[in-house]
């Protein structure tokens, strides 16, 4: 992170789990960080300001970007609309992303956070950046637009990067989590209430989870790949782990017993091939088992076995 200091950095989606800690870390590292979200509630600004972040209000779906400063050096674009409405999803995740890049066309680098949701699952074979795309998230309730709008977002950002000559990297994020957030927190809650955890029928339901500490530490490595035309890179941890793995580990830590409900109406395993990111010199440091212990300790210490 020593490479990222003294910069004007725009972080979108800053009220979300992933972007918030990134913005706070960059602000603490001597950068001027603008945290962008819709910020409909004035109270949302207070924790941002307390972390040294300058909150600004944007609306990607409406391309309302007037508060974005004109001297941004780096853009970290994490904002995403999760909606069942395709028109809104395309307006925010695709058209809005391209408009943001145009607005920040003087930036030295633009990081567009995409998702491994864009891949067509292929059993448990690791997906390379050049592998076929698909609608992997449609089977999961409430996620009908997600994969398709993220693919559309990549296309729009690639075109805008070339048109406005902005060095860009499109990073396909696997499963992010931290001490205080992540898919696993919901699984622990389900285990506590004796609810079966949904997994795919083609088990194990594997991904490449990336702890927030490692995600933050990886930012300079990911940005080093920014180019024109845009570079696409998978973004995840070095270890492969599945829902079954971390729920079993949560059970070991707490004494709770997970039960599983296999179904086709959920996301299949998508394991990203991490060679391109690792070629920059980045390797994750927080093992997923350590991450699970840290998460339980932080969020539910009352459940942790002594």
Token pair of 196 as six digits: 């079966």
pLDDT confidence tier of residue 214, bands split at 50, 70 and 90? very high
For each of the domains in the chain, give its residue range(s) and CATH number, in order of start.
8-178+208-239+272-284 (3.40.50.720)
**Residue-level pLDDT at 306:** 74
The average pLDDT across 2-16 equals 94
| Closest-CA residue to 267 (of 161, 148, 116, 131) | 116
Residue 21 to residue 25: CA distance in whole angstroms:
6
Average pLDDT across the chain, whole number: 97
Strand-pair category, 8-12 with 74-77? parallel
Residue 236 to residue 219: CA distance in whole angstroms:
12
Q: What are the respective helix, strand and coil percentages of the chain, to the nearest 5?
A: 35, 20, 45
Secondary structure in 3-state letters for 262-302: EECCCCCCCCECCHHHHCCCCCCCCCHHHHHHHHHHHHCHH
Strand-pair category, 206-207 with 241-242? antiparallel
pLDDT (tens digit, 9 = 90+) per residue, 157-200?
Answer: 999 999 999 999 999 999 999 999 999 999 999 999 999 999 99
The number of angstroms, rounded, from the C-alpha of 207 to the middle of its chain's C-alpha atoms is: 13
Decide if 68 contacts 36 (C-beta within 8 A): yes
């Amino acid at each position: 992170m020593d490479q990222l200091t003294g910069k004007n950095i725009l972080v979108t989606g800053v009220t979300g789990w992933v972007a918030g800690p990134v913005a706070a870390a960059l602000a603490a590292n001597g950068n001027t960080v603008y945290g962008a979200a819709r910020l409909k509630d004035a109270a949302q600004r207070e924790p941002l300001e307390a972390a040294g972040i300058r909150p600004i209000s944007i609306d990607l779906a409406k391309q309302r970007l007037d508060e974005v400063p004109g001297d941004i050096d780096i853009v970290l674009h994490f904002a995403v609309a999760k909606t069942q409405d395709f028109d809104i999803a395309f307006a925010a995740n695709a058209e809005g992303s391209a408009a943001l890049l145009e607005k920040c066309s003087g930036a030295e680098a633009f990081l567009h956070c995409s998702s491994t949701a864009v891949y067509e699952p292929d059993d448990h074979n690791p997906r390379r950046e050049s592998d076929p795309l698909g609608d992997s998230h449609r089977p999961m309730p409430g996620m009908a637009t997600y994969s398709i709008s993220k693919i559309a977002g990549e296309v729009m950002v690639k075109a805008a990067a070339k048109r406005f000559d902005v060095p860009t990297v499109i990073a396909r994020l696997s499963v992010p989590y931290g001490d205080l957030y992540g898919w696993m927190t919901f699984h622990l809650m389900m285990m506590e209430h004796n609810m079966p955890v949904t997994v795919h029928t083609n088990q194990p339901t594997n991904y490449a989870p990336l702890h927030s500490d490692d995600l933050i530490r990886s930012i300079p490595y990911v940005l080093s790949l920014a180019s024109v035309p845009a570079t696409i890179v998978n973004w995840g941890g070095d270890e492969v782990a599945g829902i079954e793995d971390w729920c079993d580990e949560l059970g070991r830590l707490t004494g709770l017993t997970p039960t599983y409900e296999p179904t086709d109406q959920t996301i299949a395993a998508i394991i990203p091939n991490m060679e391109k990111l690792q070629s920059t010199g980045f390797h994750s440091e927080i093992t997923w088992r350590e991450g699970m212990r840290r998460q339980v300790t932080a969020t539910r210490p009352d459940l942790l076995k002594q």
